Structure 1
Amino acid sequence: MRSWAVAHPFEFEWIFASPVGSTQHQPDSARYQAGLRFAYVFLDIIIELWNTQPFPVPDLEDQPESLREQLRAYSRLIDERLPPEALHV
């Protein structure tokens, strides 16, 4: 991924670093849905890794409250197949 990002800086910025309006953060927006589809490409692999070889995770209570809430919400979104601490990693 890094090689592609370095070779395609404009595309990388467009996909990963472009600011978006508040309407694009809504779950029914096309951009939000595209982001979820992209995340799900890796999600099953990470879940398999977590289930077969759990990795060290930080204490969720050591994280800022806003991050804790985001991690908990995402964990619920993916049917809690990964705990919030694992999502942080």
Structure 2
Amino acid sequence: MTYIEDEELINDLYNFLDEVLSRAVGTFERIDRVRIILDVLMPEALIKALQTVERISLPEAEDLFMDGPAYSECEKEEFDILVLQQLEAQGKNR
């Protein structure tokens, strides 16, 4: 589920969560930092952001997160066209 499409913003959020994790657990060698950040902290941060931005309850924000981003049919069609154009361009460049 992607709620953030800007790679730089994703990296900034990851780095922030990594710093938070460092302060919380110190330097434990046995934890998989990447997995904790991506599987636990990032989804929780996104759910909290959805709750705040949409002004909804935590359970509603969790449901919204689990449903994934909502796209209109027009947006889906535009995305499909863009993907086809990119595939065609790649085919011509080979």
Normalised by the size of structure 2, how large is the TM-score? 0.27
Query: Hey, which of these two has a bigger chunk of helix by percent?
Result: 2
Relative contact order, higher structure (CA 8 A, sep 6+): 2
Normalised by the size of structure 1, how large is the TM-score? 0.28
